Amino acid sequence: MGAVLSVVGMGGVVLGILVWQEGPGYVGLLLGIGAVTLVALAFWLVRRKRRGKPTLLDPDLFKHLNFRIGISQQTLQQITLGGAMIVLPLFLQMTLEYNAMQAGLSLAPLSLSMFGMAVLAGRKGGKRRPADIVMAGFALSTVGMAAIIPLVPRVDSGWYLVIPLLIAGSGLGLLVSQLNNFTLAPIAEERVSEAAGVNSAAGSFGLSFGLAMAGGIMLWALALSFTHLTQTSTVIPPAQQQQISAELEHDAEVMSNTQLQQQITGEPPAVQAEVLAINTQARNRSLQVALLVPAIASLAGLGNSFRMRRLPDITPAADIEGASVG
């Protein structure tokens, strides 16, 4: 029962965002089901615990403030990563029209700096408070993600993203090096595996949520912007304006100008040029809006870091080196 409630609860929240284009009724229904089910899961866990029966996880884990804050920070970190991982490849492939290999190489600064900083901070960060390192990590990831937003409509090469990606990756690497230990430090040895599982689930949910939220907002912004620009155009005939609006309402898609050009070859040259210009503007605007998801998640983590700094440092109650998040 606990597993079913957790799947329906977290799955309902993510699916509610994924069906964004189907209308507010579907979104509200699925989000409502997810939220209610998560609340039911919490009550079910507490009730089973009081009756001395087995539970999916021990609700007493959440009595530790360090654990609760660590879980929330882990979720925000993964939302940041998930949001970036759906928007940035689309920007590189649809705006700059890179192939998969070029897009992957352009994103290498993010992954390499994340890995390198995680290793470095894990070895050299022993003399510094974990809360201070986490605060620095969220600050760097916020700056890096925010710096990419104004670059989207202005750059013609992935080289312009190198410095912001290095900054964001370094910040995420600092978080990877500290959050696991901070979260599991107050947990007794016999509960570490269980707590690590909850921590991993929170990270997985955050990643899925970040992917779904950034993707849903991006398509919503694309449809809204494309429709508005089309309806205010003096070049596109009114009949085609209505047709475009109707198609976008049911099937918005981020598309490169080359892909779109192949679909409008039969239109007059003036209409083709106008549609391509609208696509460029609407696509870049939607990518910028979607990048707000990782930027805001990082900013929320930075704010939450001030709560972490007010907590005393805790010596791990058990060996948690092997209880890392998957």
Angle, CA 299 vertex, CA 223 and CA 74 arms, to 5°: 100
Q: How far apart are CA 283 and CA 92, in angstroms?
A: 12
Beta strand segments in 52-135, E: none
Q: Give the other-Cβ count within 10 Å of 31's Cβ.
A: 17
Name the residue among 40, 144, 66 with its Cα closest to residue 311.
66
Nearest to 105 by CA among 173, 176, 165: 165
144 closest CA partner among 123, 162, 124: 162
What is the DSSP annotation of 162-180? HHHHHHHHHHHHHHHHHHH
For 10-36, what is each residue's pLDDT tens digit? 888 888 877 765 555 677 788 889 899
Task: Please give the Cα distance from 185 to 162 (Å, whole number).
Answer: 35
27-31, 50-54, 83-87, range with greatest mean pLDDT: 83-87
Q: If pLDDT is split at 50, 70 and 90, which confidence band does 325 have? A: very low
- Considering only residues 251 and 289, tell me which one the structure prediction assigns the higher pLDDT: 289
Tokens, residue 203: 């990270």
pLDDT digits (tens, 9 = 90+) for 209-256: 999 899 888 988 888 888 888 888 888 888 787 777 666 656 667 788
- Token pair in block for residue 143: 């700056």
Looking at every residue in the chain, the average pLDDT score rounds to 86
